[in-house]
Structure 1
Amino acid sequence: MAGSILWSLVLALHILCIAYWVGGGAFLTLTLRNSITLLEPAARLNVQLQTYSRYCRGLRHIVPVTLLTGWALVFHVGGFAMVPWPINAMQLLGLVMTAVYLSVELGPLRAARRAIRPQPALFNTIRNRIVIMLALGALTILCAAMGTI
């Protein structure tokens, strides 16, 4: 009984991390860009820089926890050979999402933080990569739904 509660908590933590990762990407993609059009250009760039930075700062913790809890759940049921193919697809998509996140964090976001006046093109690059991450996240959620039935 206590073991099942522990694994339920691990699963809940995994789902909460995915909710932040994918939900934050959806917010940035669908809401932020439209909302900041009312601001002056300098304020717009500052808001984008602060918002993207805080989202990625959260992902620094979320991404490793997501991967570790996912692997723990897989190894709990016997390893990757024992789980259905959608779970293995989730693993692959999660690693690709991690690579996209790292490309945002170590590429255009780092350049935007270091720039005295970050160019709007940097934020377009960040947004495009977050759109890719969001699409991969939606596909991962679809795989999760297929793997539980």
Structure 2
Amino acid sequence: MSYPVLWSLILALHIISICVWIGGGFYAVVVLRPSLSLLDNTQRSSVHLQTLQRFFKMLKHIVPTVLITGWLMIIHEGGFAHAPWTTNVMQAIGLIMAILFIRILSGPYQKLRRAIRPQPATFDAVRKQIMLIVALGLLTVVVASMGHPFL
């Protein structure tokens, strides 16, 4: 028995989660970072840390949701053996993005949280890794579009 409404909701949850992940990263790099230059160093570090804390707290839920909903849809569509190449590429890139997120969380972000005076170089390390995640996320969207037949 098929449950089209359930699978539509799983797909919607997957897409919304991807939008939050990529869009949040894009916001952090393109909008927030340049805007922080208007603040003095203490305020800049504080606002940046608070923003990253909220974003990463949300991503701790979003990242597993993206992976789990993606795998559920693969299983629903016939399993991993029958997945098209675009799905496999999306899965690989998604796993790389998740590993990068864990790397940020356990590396430079922890260093920022524990520092009495967080260094700009550490914020830059976080920013560069978030930029890489955003780029990979956009590549994933392109790959997903290639896997959708219009004929």
Q: Provide the TM-score with structure 2 as the length reference.
A: 0.96
The alpha-carbon deviation at position 2 of structure 1 amounts to 6.6
Q: What amino acid does structure 2 have at the position aligned with 1:58?
A: M
Match of 1:32 in 2: 32
The alpha-carbon deviation at position 34 of structure 1 amounts to 1.1
Q: What amino acid does structure 2 have at the position aligned with 1:135?
A: A
Residue-pair matches, total: 149
Q: Which runs of 5+ in 1 are unaligned?
A: none
Quote the Cα distance in structure 2 between the aligned partners of 1:80 and 1:90: 12
Match of 2:13 in 1: 13
Matched, 1:97 2:87: no
Quote the Cα distance in structure 2 between the aligned partners of 1:113 and 1:26: 22
Quote the Cα distance in structure 1 between the aligned partners of 2:53 and 2:61: 13
Match of 2:111 in 1: 111
- In structure 1, the residue corresponding to 2:82 is in which secondary structure? coil
Query: What percent of counterpart residues are identical?
Result: 47
Q: What amino acid does structure 1 have at the position aligned with 2:9?
A: L
Q: What amino acid does structure 2 have at the position aligned with 1:70?
A: G
Match of 2:53 in 1: 53
Quote the Cα distance in structure 2 between the aligned partners of 1:87 and 1:143: 8
Q: Provide the TM-score with structure 1 as the length reference.
A: 0.97
Matched, 1:44 2:48: no
Q: Which runs of 4+ in 1 moved over 3 A?
A: none
Q: Which runs of 5+ in 2 are unaligned?
A: none
Describe the superposition over 1:92-126 as per-residue Cα deviations: whole angstroms up to 9, x where unpaired: 00000001100110000011111111111110000
The alpha-carbon deviation at position 81 of structure 1 amounts to 2.0
Matched, 1:132 2:129: no
Quote the Cα distance in structure 1 between the aligned partners of 2:101 and 2:147: 24
Quote the Cα distance in structure 2 between the aligned partners of 1:24 and 1:106: 19
